[in-house]
Structure 1
Amino acid sequence: MGSAYVVGTFDTKGAELHYVAGLVARGHPVVTVDLSTSGGTSDADVSAAAVAAHHPDGAAAVFTGDRGSAVVAMATAFERFLSDRDVDGIIGLGGSGGTALITPAMRALPVGVPKVMVSTVASGDVSPYVDATDIAMFPSVTDVAGLNRISRQVLGNAAHALLGAATRPVPPAEDKPAVALSMFGVTTPCVTAVAEQLAADYDPLVFHATGTGGRAMEKLVDDGLVRAVLDITTTEVCDLIAGGVMSAGQQRLDAIARTEVPYVGSCGALDMVNFGALETVPPQYRDRHLYVHNPQVTLMRTTAAECRLIAEFIAAKLNACRGPVRLLLPTGGVSMLDAPGQPFYDPEADAVLFDTLEGQLKQTADRQVQRVPHNVNDPEFAAALIAAFRDVARQEAR
């Protein structure tokens, strides 16, 4: 059995952290960790100095006397400290600084390890803290500044939530290898068909390609929790290139290269860039080909020039992959909206996309591109994806 870690700045929140540790310790071994940057001592199991020593430049890089740089440095040290620990769960307490200090280490832990953060900023935009992981954010309601009738209840609930997760693990799923699939509404028929055909032998994990979804998918790839990837919907790259609101960032596809995981990709929804409600579309795009998907989502058709940049990005990333790669090009259209009679049908823009991908991808025995004369949502294209997947799966098994 590992331990549940109770972490925070003991110089300012010692009473609250000991209160939480006492509740968790009723049912599970606990390790308390001091993350104070003041340079003082505490009665935590692991001192701030011991954590700071894990910084690449040593403890002196943490105890600088400047709070801003010290918090950043301690966050780095804590992530490295936690990386080789047997963590059954972790709970942190903090304000904005403490939350920024603690959550990077939480994000670095594998998905599934219980993570609870009680924070004064948990009721706002928590995406910078949570990102693509499974951190549970508890709003502290009152400040984390002493024990009172409110904080005792909130902290107690958070402690018991962690205790329950740490001592009552989720029963294991069927022993099938997990396969990740990326999906958007406009590629749902394809992804659903592929997932159904894989379900007998694999555990399909479907990720919504909204930026966070792509990052979450690649987080699981990095954690070794995914056997292969069917990246049918690479639309997040469009938002990166054109400034949409659903970008997964410059690092999209990097986990595929790092891990050499078998990869079957496609061009799902590369015909669109995502924005919010129509009035939120940036002024420079107001005259573009726009489609109101719903009151909160406006789609913009990618141009031939944007398609070239998108294809160059994807090809460069896949060229860095040393594992098996298959890239399938649905020449009949890349989404529901990119079909004859539909609002985003643009064979010329698609041709630039396909030609650039085919021309820029450095094909080898393990890295291949294939044109399929069907729309991404046609049953024939789903069948081609399955065939490509079986091919890379067989190679991986050898």
Structure 2
Amino acid sequence: MSDKTILIVGTYDTKDDELHYLAGVIAGQGGGVLSMDVSVLGDPSRPTDVSKHEVAEAGGSSIQAAIDSGDENVAMQIMARGAAAKALELYRAGRIHGVIVLGGSMGTDLALDLCSALPLGVPKYIVSTVSFSPMLPPDRIPADVQMILWAGGLYGLNSICKASLSQAAGAVLGAARAVEAPVRDRPLIGMTSFGKTVLRYMVSLKPALEARGYEVAVFHATGMGGRAFESLAAEGAFAAVFDFAPQEVTNHIFGGLSAGEDRMTHAGRRGIPQLVATGCYDLVDFVGWQPAPAALADRPSHAHNRLLTSAVLDMDERRQVARAICGKLAGASGPVTILLPKGGCNEWDRPGAPLHDAEGLAAFCDEVRSACPANAELVELDAHINDPQFSDRALAIFDDWVARGLVPAGA
């Protein structure tokens, strides 16, 4: 009897040998396998556990409709919808404990949808000829997916691609055996931030919330962290959120490291209470080893490291960010409080610091006041976001929400 079962997904009409090789490695390590065919035109050498016809039907269509479309993109999207639905169905039924998807650009497109459909904590591996490629948009990459380049694997088996395939097979089975699934024995608080060099409130807030019986997860708001935060919010995993680093909204507007257009929306849609602040609202993060975007080339900036540089917004752009944040919060169905620290919103913008801009900050605060939606409470603080007064006020508001029954009491 195998201890864990891995779903293997791919186009068995063109990658039959490679997919069966993966299955053999997993079986050789004592794992179980379920196979899913996402081919359209051809057939596998032997039946798979989930046929291409079942996949197409789960996608609301049929293989014949995919063929009749005459468009490989349309056909693959049918299969992507179906593969995602079937994978989730198998997981919920307890039949699989992890997934590995094999493909080129077409298969990777499908793999991103399939892996996004599975909850965080389910091992997800993609073996792809385009792994780590800039063609993969951050807002489509699942929060906890693992990828490995399918080196030398465009057509047929060889010793080079076997090295990648065998690593991935061992990794997904090992992950399925080793993973410690999230335990929801305490209400979970989601918090966004950056490292202590720029934002520091989590240093005091996390232990204070844990002492009250909550689990606290702090997400690094540099694109993928925001995706993980939003995916958990969409699941309704949070009892409340402290979304104090919404800079990914700024990044999305101005071409920086985006977490997607839907950043700062899922908690509101689920009615999750939101404490929101404006950490690093004035900065656009871009890849430090590439030339600055033309629109930001002459701005004051801070090279955080060799990977990441932050450029400063001008006054009008700050007003645009204020409107965007308030617009997203206007759709919330749960409690919303905006904390506005008038003394500054990151360590580099304090008086005397290199990115200080008093007029820009004042313009931003004015716009937040004007655009603040009717469903949100605005709390202005004569403090910097890294000052103790900020964290103390946030905790006081949260305690009031708990006392009023808006947030469940800690365990």
The reply to whether TM is greater than 0.5 is yes
Aligned residues of 1:209 and 1:236 also touching (Cα < 8 A)? yes
Aligned residues of 1:15 and 1:147 also touching (Cα < 8 A)? yes
Structure 2 unaligned runs (5+)?
Answer: none
1:214 corresponds in structure 2 to: 226
Measure the CA separation in 2 of the matches of 1:238 and 1:156: 41
- CA offset digits 1:112-165 (Å, max 9, x no partner): 101112222226448448724212112222215434444444323322222222
Is residue 238 of structure 2 the alignment partner of residue 226 of structure 1? yes
Identity, % of aligned positions: 35
Deviation of residue 99 (structure 1)? Answer: 1.8
Is residue 49 of structure 2 the alignment partner of residue 45 of structure 1? yes
Q: Structure 1 pair 279/54, CA: closer, same or farther in 2 (3 Å)?
A: closer
Paired AA for residue 93 in structure 1: L
Query: What is the Cα-based RMSD across aligned positions, in Å?
Result: 2.7
Query: Tell me, what secondary structure is at the counterpart of 2:359?
Result: helix
1:307 corresponds in structure 2 to: 318
- CA offset digits 1:23-67 (Å, max 9, x no partner): 434634432110001154651111111101122344444223433
Deviation of residue 100 (structure 1)? Answer: 1.8
Aligned residues of 1:187 and 1:233 also touching (Cα < 8 A)? no
Measure the CA separation in 2 of the matches of 1:51 and 1:132: 21
1:389 corresponds in structure 2 to: 398
- CA offset digits 1:363-385 (Å, max 9, x no partner): 34xx3111111000001101111
Measure the CA separation in 2 of the matches of 1:151 and 1:282: 37
2:82 corresponds in structure 1 to: 77
Paired AA for residue 91 in structure 1: I
Aligned residues of 1:271 and 1:338 also touching (Cα < 8 A)? no
Query: Tell me, what secondary structure is at the counterpart of 2:340?
Result: strand
Q: 2:173 aligns with which of 163, 169, 194?
A: 163
Aligned residues of 1:263 and 1:392 also touching (Cα < 8 A)? no
- CA offset digits 1:49-94 (Å, max 9, x no partner): 1101122344444223433332232112222232322241111122
- CA offset digits 1:184-230 (Å, max 9, x no partner): 24543222222232233222211111122212211122233333211
2:20 corresponds in structure 1 to: 18
Q: 1:331 aligns with which of 337, 342, 346?
A: 342
Is residue 141 of structure 2 the alignment partner of residue 139 of structure 1? no
- When structure 1 is superposed on structure 2, of 187-196 and 278-287 the one drifting more is 278-287
Query: Tell me, what secondary structure is at the counterpart of 1:395?
Result: coil
2:251 corresponds in structure 1 to: 239
Aligned length: 395
1:268 corresponds in structure 2 to: 279
Paired AA for residue 43 in structure 1: P
Q: Structure 1 pair 128/37, CA: closer, same or farther in 2 (3 Å)?
A: farther
Aligned residues of 1:39 and 1:48 also touching (Cα < 8 A)? no
Deviation of residue 388 (structure 1)? Answer: 2.0
Aligned residues of 2:127 and 2:165 also touching (Cα < 8 A)? yes
Is residue 381 of structure 2 the alignment partner of residue 378 of structure 1? no
Paired AA for residue 31 in structure 1: L
Query: Tell me, what secondary structure is at the counterpart of 2:344?
Result: coil
1:280 corresponds in structure 2 to: 291
Is residue 115 of structure 2 the alignment partner of residue 106 of structure 1? yes
1:179 corresponds in structure 2 to: 189
Aligned residues of 2:31 and 2:173 also touching (Cα < 8 A)? yes
Structure 1 unaligned runs (5+)?
Answer: none
1:31 corresponds in structure 2 to: 34
Aligned residues of 1:230 and 1:264 also touching (Cα < 8 A)? yes
Measure the CA separation in 2 of the matches of 1:317 and 1:111: 24
Q: Structure 1 pair 188/362, CA: closer, same or farther in 2 (3 Å)?
A: closer
TM-score (norm 2): 0.87
Paired AA for residue 220 in structure 1: L
Measure the CA separation in 2 of the matches of 1:389 and 1:30: 47
Query: Tell me, what secondary structure is at the counterpart of 2:347?
Result: coil
Q: Structure 1 pair 321/285, CA: closer, same or farther in 2 (3 Å)?
A: same
Q: 1:348 aligns with which of 353, 356, 359?
A: 359
TM-score (norm 1): 0.89
- When structure 1 is superposed on structure 2, of 146-155 and 32-41 the one drifting more is 146-155
- When structure 1 is superposed on structure 2, of 228-237 and 277-286 the one drifting more is 277-286
Measure the CA separation in 2 of the matches of 1:228 and 1:285: 35
2:9 corresponds in structure 1 to: 7
Query: Tell me, what secondary structure is at the counterpart of 1:32?
Result: strand
Query: Tell me, what secondary structure is at the counterpart of 2:180?
Result: coil
Paired AA for residue 375 in structure 1: H
Q: Structure 1 pair 295/133, CA: closer, same or farther in 2 (3 Å)?
A: closer
- When structure 1 is superposed on structure 2, of 177-186 and 108-117 the one drifting more is 177-186
Deviation of residue 390 (structure 1)? Answer: 2.5
- CA offset digits 1:351-372 (Å, max 9, x no partner): 22222223322334xx311111
- When structure 1 is superposed on structure 2, of 34-43 and 144-153 the one drifting more is 144-153
Paired AA for residue 6 in structure 1: I
Paired AA for residue 193 in structure 2: M
Aligned residues of 1:333 and 1:375 also touching (Cα < 8 A)? yes
Measure the CA separation in 2 of the matches of 1:278 and 1:30: 42
Deviation of residue 308 (structure 1)? Answer: 1.4
